[in-house]
Amino acid sequence: MADPRKRRGKGPLEEEDFIGMSPPQEGRRRPPPERPARKPGKKRRGPLGPGKRLLILIVCILLMAAITAAFCIFLVFKVAEIQVTGDSVYSAQEITDLCGYEIGENLVFLTTEDREQRLESQLPYVQEAQITRHLPNTLEIHITGAQVQASVETAGGWLWVSDQGKILELGTAPAEGTMMIRGYPSLTSQPGQFLSAEDQTLQAVLTEILGKLSDLEILEDCTRLDLTDLYDIRLWYQDRVECKLGSTAELSYKLEFAQKLLTNTTRIGGQETGVLDLSYADTHNAGFLAGPIELEDWTGSAAQTAPEGGDENAGAPQEEEDGRGGDIPNGIFDGDGIVSSTPEESSQDTGETQTTDGTQDTDETQDSDETWEDPSQETGSGSSEGGDRGGDIPGELFEGEEESSSSAGTVDRGGDIPSDIFTG
């Protein structure tokens, strides 16, 4: 079967010739335009999640708060009032002038530590200065005053110091009613500074003693402190009891022990005088020897004596007789003591010691491991037999005879020894 397209005749345009034009081709189409390719790495952002939105909100709030705070700091918090409180050792005008604060300054950016140090160093009687900000516009300066509690002896006079060792004033004499301190060579004497010594141990000892006495509330009752020898520290209580503290070992405990004994009327009476030995307090023992004590004058006047029983001539120089010196007795040695011409002299020369009660004292209020030693218990001077003198010393008075009344033997004294009694 023949192809129908071949039987079909030519089209009307097929027979025509077109100048400059070619006939259209059958089945040819224009290709569609291509889209530009996307660059790799770039993706379309989706909507923000709840977490991101909350984070952005918090950041915005913090930023607004910071801006508000800066506004308040620079424009609102300014000094409008300066208050001076505490002890009135100096006028408020002196204190504010020394600090240098002015009305209208920014309260937040004010420096306080350097101003506190300035007040404490340049105003001697200021023990402590504390500067506090009170928002929105008040500045408070609190002053704690210092009091003279001790006087330290120096080559050029006396340093009046507080219980913390701060130098308050330089005087020619010790401050009235304060404890005198000897044996502390201070490196500085400038008021407003603190005591300092080349020997660090000495400085630590004084600081410890002053602080402990202040804590025990007996600093005002202590009148003297001798630090000349750190192995023989001595403290005087009310100028009537001399406390031997010994070395620097366990000073705090020794002072606590002394305070218990001195303030307890069943231990040492309120009018008792004597020597309290605390040098071996680390063994929980202390000894008290009752009797008058001699006080050396540290201020340059005559020596003083604290008598017990009213001997007005105690401590005064005695006249020497017969060229024998004041330490040679006038009485006769009888093997037991010195026989004086009067009963009063005999009682003084026997060397007897007395205590508050004459027996070993134990107080229920004291710790069980602390014992109160009685010196008379050790010496035995109050016994009726006159003490243990040894078996070879006769108890009778030697009368110059060859035979003693208590011995049957004969004594060869030599021809150059007289038989009479030497009476001075």
**Which residue positions in the chain have pLDDT lower than 50?**
301-371, 374-391, 393, 395-398, 400-411, 413, 424
Residue with tokens 């089945």: 27
> Can you give the pLDDT at residue 107?
87
**70, 67, 169, 94: which is closest to 125 by C-alpha?**
169
> Can you give the pLDDT at residue 10?
56
> Can you give the pLDDT at residue 129?
96
**199, 162, 192: which is closest to 179 by C-alpha?**
162
CA distances from 69 to 56, 63, 74, 116, 139 (A): 20, 10, 9, 28, 20
> Can you give the pLDDT at residue 171?
93
Q: Pairing mode, if any, of strands 304-306 and 293-295?
A: antiparallel
How many other CB atoms are found less than 10 A from the CB of residue 98?
A: 17
Structure tokens at 44: 């379309």
- Per-residue pLDDT of 369-378, as tens digits, reads 444 554 333 4
Structure tokens at 215: 């804590």
> Can you give the pLDDT at residue 315?
37
Q: Where are the beta strands (DSSP E) in 299-417?
A: 304-306, 332-333, 338-339, 371-373
Q: Which residues have CB under 8 Å from 106's CB, separation 6+?
A: 73, 74, 77, 78, 79
Q: Which residues have CB under 8 Å from 323's CB, separation 6+?
A: none
> Can you give the pLDDT at residue 343?
37
Yes or no: say if 78 and 105 are a contact pair by the CB < 8 Å rule: yes
How many other CB atoms are found less than 10 A from the CB of residue 370?
A: 16
Neighbour-count burial for 80-93, b at 16+ CB within 10 Å, e otherwise: eebebebeebbeee
* 3-class DSSP assignment, residue 345: helix
> Can you give the pLDDT at residue 134?
92
Q: Which residues have CB under 8 Å from 274's CB, separation 6+?
A: 241, 242, 268, 288, 289, 290, 291, 293, 308
DSSP 34: P
User: Helices (H), strands (E): how many in the chain?
Assistant: 8, 17
% of the chain at pLDDT higher than 90: 45
Task: Write down all domains in the chain, each with its CATH number in brackets.
Answer: 81-145 (3.10.20.310), 229-296+329-380 (no CATH)
pTM comes to: 0.58
